[in-house]
Structure 1
């Protein structure tokens, strides 16, 4: 019994470390996207990132010789590939052309609530009162963020809406990915999800080639960084941890991302959201925290 508990503890620790790596790298992605968005359009940036990620993941997959995912895993791989690797990345890139990195991270982080909603609907897990209360609080936060950005014109409000849509596609990707991990390894699910997203973004190939010719080296290196670290590495560590816990708990690990993004964006880009925007973002996160509480907990 003691040996079993020790093995479970080690597995939990490995999953926690994997989740920590994911959170840190995903936080850095918001800053890198914001920087690269000055030289690459949303679709071209997504395709470049996915191409770099596919090369790295494909090489690792070939070396490990894990083979093709089982047929049962493919619905989840296709769903997560289209929604998360493809659509999410394009929409987030677009949103970050309109709002700063910290604001984007705070709005996108309502994703765990959407995950819980989709779980209640698709997996028949129900809709607890705390979930509905958390939704109301997060919606109020999103409204505050939108109002705070309205001084920057229509484009800023569009940016907030795009980030909200990105949160929905992120949540949909997680819900699709979880069942796939019952049948295939984290590497298989991540690698082929990345391949699917890359294929979905191929219509932007012309833009990518054109913009690579004019972009400065720093912007191109940002694209490569996004593909190798926040995509190839972080999505794999995410899938590894997700396979060992619930989607809801994994969603909760992203609470710390906005704080890291605000700090990184301040250091690297000199950006920091305004006080009203920060207040709205904190409301979004408070709503997520409320939605994930269990009844009777302090």
Structure 2
């Protein structure tokens, strides 16, 4: 592996990891649905500019049902649910819970394809979930950003991770071969469109701080 590739992996990990802290900060001011809408909307706006500059193409309209499903499970629900969960769950714990994504993806994939689980797979799943549970519950004494049920927060974040896994399977089955920039632009735009009316009809941010 070249040094450039290592640097890219470190940068990607930093950007991915810091998002959980940024969600926690945003959730102190914005309601969860607003966090989801702002993440989707700002991402869509940036990608639309990139789309025009680079000449990438949006997915064909016939893909709209699958794009809506992926936008719902990969963006609208997780973005809002992580903000909801991090009202009571520390951001580092949320990041650890997100590490269950590969396990959920594998289990859902096996369920969809009716694949039997071997002993090695069962042991791997148990070890994976056991490790996550050990780390999460060893941090229950960490200060949480707000008052509320830690168990509810953990449950909501796990559901968000399940949403990611569901979207991964849908995209792999139905959205292969599409322009990745166009696909991401469509997903985020549709997610923002889903969340905007919900945000407008529910609780608004009271005091927006710097």
TM class by shorter-chain length? Answer: 0.7 to 0.9
Unaligned runs of 5+ in 2: none
**8 Å contact kept, 1:41–1:207:** no
Residues 115-194 of structure 1 aligned to structure 2 (within 5 Å): 115-124=105-114, 126-141=116-131, 143-144=133-134, 145-146=136-137, 149=140, 155-194=149-188
Tell me, yes or no, if the aligned pair for 2:29 and 2:208 is still in contact at 8 Å: yes
- Correspondence list, 1:170-249, <5 A: 170-206=164-200, 210-211=204-205, 214-217=207-210
1:81 is matched with 71
Cα gap change, 1:94 to 1:67, in 2 (>3 Å)? same
Q: Distance in 2 between matches of 1:154 and 1:36?
A: 17
Q: Compared with structure 1, are the counterparts of its residues 17 and 142 closer, same or farther at alpha carbon in structure 2 (3 Å cutoff)?
A: closer
Provide the alpha-carbon RMSD of the alignment: 3.2
| Separation of aligned partners in 2, 1:148 and 1:18 | 30
Deviation digits for residues 239-294 of structure 1 (CA, Å, limit 9, x no counterpart): xxxxxxxxxxxxxxxxxxxxxxxxxxxxxxxxxxxxxxxxxxxxxxxxxxxxxxxx
The 1:66–1:31 alpha-carbon spacing in structure 2 relative to 1, beyond 3 Å, is same
Sort the Cα spacing of 1:103 and 1:194 in 2 relative to 1 into closer, same or farther, 3 A. same
1:123 offset after TM fit, Å? 4.0
In the TM superposition, what is the alpha-carbon distance from 1:138 to its structure 2 partner? 3.7
Length-normalised TM-score, structure 1: 0.59
TM-score, normalization by structure 2 = 0.81
Shift of 1:21: 4.5
Distance 1:192 1:89 in 2: 16
Q: 1:23 to 1:180 in 2, by over 3 A?
A: farther
Match of 1:62 among 38, 46, 52: 52
Separation in structure 1 between the aligned mates of residue 132 and residue 109 of structure 2, nearest angstrom: 22
- SS of the equivalent of 1:149 reads coil
**Corresponding position of 1:241:** none
Where 2:87 maps in the other structure, the secondary structure is: coil
Q: Quick check: which one's helix share is greater?
A: 1
Shift of the 61–136 alpha-carbon distance from structure 1 to 2, 3 Å rule, reads same
Q: Please list the CA deviations of residues 97-138 of structure 1 after superposition, one character each: whole Å capped at 9, or x if unmatched.
A: 111011111112111001111221224554343332232234
